[in-house]
Amino acid sequence: MEQATVRENVIMARTAVVTGAGNGLGREIALGLAEAGYGIVVADSDERAAKACGRLIEAHGMPARAVGGDVREPDDMNRILTAARALGGPHVLVNNAGGWTPNRQYPQAAPAEWAATISLNLTAPMLLSQLVLEPMQEQGGGAIINIASSGGIGFGPYGSPEYGAAKAGLIRFTASLAGLASSHGVRMMCVAPDWIGLERAQTQWERMSSAERAASRPLIPPAEVVAVVMDLIREGAGGSVVEMWGGDQPVVHAP
């Protein structure tokens, strides 16, 4: 989908894959990477949203490939990798796609429903990370950023047990693979933010009472999450996990 304004010399330089990049945090990360000089593979289950994000990236003068598909499906994962190779990569993978179980949560949700949530939030990032390891190694190394959640941290009750369990697993998965930096030249890192001030969260925040807002941490500006992601890509240590809580400085757990 490249336009004449795209800097073709960038195609063989740096390429990032961002899943769930059609909307929300994924789109903000994709745009941040484009501003930093990356060509972007915009992967999203909503192909129309992926293409719209791709056009925004091209407006920044960077190449983009929009891939509509489900990151839980092997054929779609292979199409993502093919698109990254077409742009000369991959050099960066951001496993951002995720979400709660629609309509009902464990234990009310049927096994297939909550298992699909675990697959989206944990198994898919594991599979896609495994898929890009060899190509990244061939490119001289790379970085993988897993987007977890504060829902995977702590010991209190949580509204979606399967989502919390998957995000906790993603955090531990990241820390367990600090050695990839030595074995493959690939640094895997993780960001675990609390409530991010995206459109839906802003709407929910406005509906809360003043007492409810006072009892809650402030929303995290999306730009702050993007900044942490970019810092990790530039200089983060493999195996690092960054907790982000509204109103506080990020907490970095490094190996």
- CB burial of 57-67 (b: ≥16 within 10 Å; e: otherwise) equals bbebebbbbbb
How many domains does the structure of the chain reveal? 1
State the Cα angle at 50 between 246 and 55, rounded to 5°. Answer: 100
Structural domain of residue 46, as residue ranges? 8-242
Confidence of residue 214 (pLDDT cuts 50, 70, 90): low
Examine residue 249 and state whether it is found in any structural domain, yes or no.
no
Examine residue 86 and state whether it is found in any structural domain, yes or no.
yes
Examine residue 171 and state whether it is found in any structural domain, yes or no.
yes
How confident is the model at residue 205, as a pLDDT?
A: 56
Examine residue 76 and state whether it is found in any structural domain, yes or no.
yes
From the candidates 38, 106, 158, 163, which is the catalytic residue?
163
Q: What is the pTM of this model?
A: 0.92
- Which residue's entry shows tokens 């998957």? 166
106 catalytic per annotation: no
How confident is the model at residue 4, as a pLDDT?
A: 36
Confidence of residue 71 (pLDDT cuts 50, 70, 90): very high
| CATH number assigned to the domain comprising residue 125 | 3.40.50.720
How confident is the model at residue 198, as a pLDDT?
A: 77
Examine residue 83 and state whether it is found in any structural domain, yes or no.
yes
Examine residue 186 and state whether it is found in any structural domain, yes or no.
yes
pLDDT tens digit string along 10-45?
444 699 999 999 999 999 999 999 999 999 999 999
Examine residue 1 and state whether it is found in any structural domain, yes or no.
no
Examine residue 248 and state whether it is found in any structural domain, yes or no.
no
Query: What distances in angstroms separate CA 60 from CA 3, 19, 78, one per listed residue?
Result: 11, 19, 27
